[in-house]
Amino acid sequence: MDSAVIEMARRRRPGRADTGARRDHGASNLDNGGLIRPEQEIERLRCLLREGAASAPAVRADEAYFTVLRDRLRQPPPA
């Protein structure tokens, strides 16, 4: 599962500047920053997934749980 998450994050590459042709060090520095940020986000995601996997379920997600969710969605929003 980790490899799929990593691949999705690598494809996304948020915050990466479109620098076009590399003419100066500024463009190169922007690109390096764009490479570090996704790796940090991947590590943060890994930590969150581990925390979630180690925690106990908050509620049982059975048919009654989903019925309550559907009923809540069908109610009109408060004015």
Residue 12, H or E segment: helix 2-12
How far is the C-alpha of 35 from the C-alpha of 19, rounded, in Å? 13
Structural tokens at position 56: 């106990």
Structural tokens at position 50: 């581990």
Angle subtended by helix axes 2-12 and 25-54, to nearest 10: 150
- The pLDDT, as a whole number, for residue 49 is 96
Kindly list the averaged pLDDT for each block of 10 residues, start to end, along the chain of length 79: 61 53 53 76 95 90 94 90
pTM, rounded to two decimals: 0.38
